[in-house]
Structure 1
Amino acid sequence: MKWHNALKDYKSYLRIERGLSQNTLQNYSLDIQKLIHWCEEHSVAKSPLTISEKEIQQFIYHIGKTMNPRSQSRIISGLRGFFNYLVFEEYRKANPLELIESPKIGRKLPDTLSTQEIDQLIAAIDLGSPQGERNRAMLETLYACGLRVSELIHLKISDLFFEEGVIKVTGKGDKERFVPIGKNTIKYITIYRNEIRVHQKPKPTAIDTLFLNRRGNGLTRAMVFTIVKNLAEKAGLKKSISPHTFRHSFATHLLENGADLRAIQQMLGHESITTTEIYTHVETSYLTQVMEKYHPRK
């Protein structure tokens, strides 16, 4: 079995059997392609069925020269899944990464914004331009509903259930969930739809897409990242901010104000409560700051 064929079969398995998104498939594919490229570069004439732990160790040593432990750990995890698939399909008898340990990494807490910083970002939007009303509605939706950027750009008009106070969100693996939406966010989306979007001519593939670019197509992930980055610079915020920062802030602020972790898990669309629990560490950090600031014996 050649590398190309094995990778193609694995991606089909992840898409059909595991229901993973295209972005996740792309990330897994890139990790495996790094190993394939290394084999070609170092004349390692091994197939996915014959490559051994020794060659895998050499590859990991190679990437360790230029990659941080977190990136190394992600690649090792991706390769382990790939070879587990080959064992599961009985192409191999054993996984060459079975005894290879991932580098130790500290748990990275997500960056968050304060409510004041979110207000600063939104205040930096130029509402005099048609894109301004769209951008305000987008950022308000990201923060108010805790969406992933991929969920935001694929949000449809038919997903809006304003009378019920919810929106339908299609998350990873095409799993759907209903997320509450506040009155202010409903107001900004309605302004955008009635005053801006109504004057655009959507492309046939984007007729039901909520947020459009100037040409009537849906937005890309890169465009939303650029919008957020430019607004952060304009607002004078020194933090490294991405659309995901709004999602982290959504969860953190809910937890700080006493929201139940299970409810936050459902709204974020996390499959496991363990993923949501990272925000308890953020909240502990916040509580420490409060104690140091206000306790008389600090």
Structure 2
Amino acid sequence: MKWEDSLKDYKHYLRLERGLSANSINSYSLDVLKLIRFLEEKKINVSPVAISEEEIQHFVYEIAKKVNERSQSRIISGLRSFFGFLVFEDYRTTNPLDLIESPRTGRKLPDTLSTKEIDLMIAAIDLSTPEGERNRAILETLYGCGLRVSEVIDLQVSDLFFEEGFIKVTGKGDKQRFVPIAAHTQKYIELYLHHIRPHVPVKKDFEDTLFLNRRGRKLTRAMIFTIIKVLAEKAGIYKKVSPHTFRHSFATHLLENGADLRAIQQMLGHESITTTEIYMHVDRSHLKQVMEEFHPHRAR
């Protein structure tokens, strides 16, 4: 079995069986491609079916010299998934990554913005242009609903259920969820929807896309990143800010104000509660307040 064939089959598996997005599939594929390039450079002629644990360990040792522990762990995890697929399909009987440990890494806490910083970025938007009204609606949606950047650019006009107070969001693996939307956020979307978007020459196949570029097509991820980077600089915010920062801020601020972790999990579209638990890094004074308010032995 050739590496190219096994990687092609693996991509089909990730898309059809696991329901992963194109971005996730590319990320998993890159981990396997790193191993393939290593074997080519070292002139090691071995198939994915025959490669041994020692040869994988050699690769892991080499990448450890070039990347940090977090990247090492991700590559090892990606390869473990790939060889797990080969075992699942009966191409191999064992997974050569089973006995290879990932380096211990501390869980990285997400960057967040304060409400003041978010207000400063929104205030930095030039509302004298049609794009300004659109950009304000985008930032309000990112922060007001905690969406991923891909979820914002894929949002459809038909996904807006404002009378019910919800929007329908298509997340990872095309999984759909309903996210509550506040009247404040609705207001800015409606301003854009009724006063700006009707003047954009919409291209075919984008008639239902909510946020459009000047040419009437769907915005790209790169464009959203650029908009936010420019606004952060204009607002005098020098920390690393991305669309995901607004999602992190949404979850963190909800938790700080007493929201239930499982409710946040549902709104974010996390499959596992452990993913949501990363937001438990909130101010310790909040945790003390929760203890004093809710523990049965709080005050006797």
* TM-score, normalised by the number of residues in structure 1: 0.95
1:283 paired with 2:282, answer yes
Alignment match, 2:204: 204
Alignment match, 2:272: 272
| Separation of aligned partners in 2, 1:288 and 1:250 | 18
Root mean square deviation of aligned Cα: 1.3
Displacement of 1:286 in angstroms is 6.4
Displacement of 1:59 in angstroms is 1.0
Alignment match, 1:296: none
| Separation of aligned partners in 2, 1:160 and 1:240 | 31
| Amino acid aligned to 1:108 | K
Q: Report percent identity of matched pairs.
A: 69
Secondary structure at the counterpart of residue 205 of structure 2 = helix
| Separation of aligned partners in 1, 2:227 and 2:78 | 31
Displacement of 1:287 in angstroms is 4.0
Deviations 1:240-270 (A, max 9, x none): 0100000000000000000011110100000
Alignment match, 2:100: 100
Alignment match, 1:244: 244
Deviations 1:156-200 (A, max 9, x none): 000000111100000011110000001111110111111111001
| Separation of aligned partners in 2, 1:288 and 1:267 | 22
Alignment match, 1:6: 6
Displacement of 1:225 in angstroms is 0.6
Displacement of 1:82 in angstroms is 0.3
| Separation of aligned partners in 2, 1:285 and 1:4 | 51
| Amino acid aligned to 1:185 | T
Displacement of 1:288 in angstroms is 8.0
Deviations 1:117-167 (A, max 9, x none): 000010011111111000000000000000000000000000000111100
**Do 2:256 and 2:283's aligned partners in 1 also have CA atoms closer than 8 Å?**
no
Displacement of 1:53 in angstroms is 1.0
Alignment match, 1:24: 24
| Separation of aligned partners in 1, 2:39 and 2:131 | 47
| Separation of aligned partners in 2, 1:222 and 1:3 | 31
Provide the aligned length of Structure 1 versus Structure 2.
Answer: 289
* TM-score, normalised by the number of residues in structure 2: 0.94
- Structure 2: unaligned runs, 5 residues or longer: 290-300
| Amino acid aligned to 2:81 | G
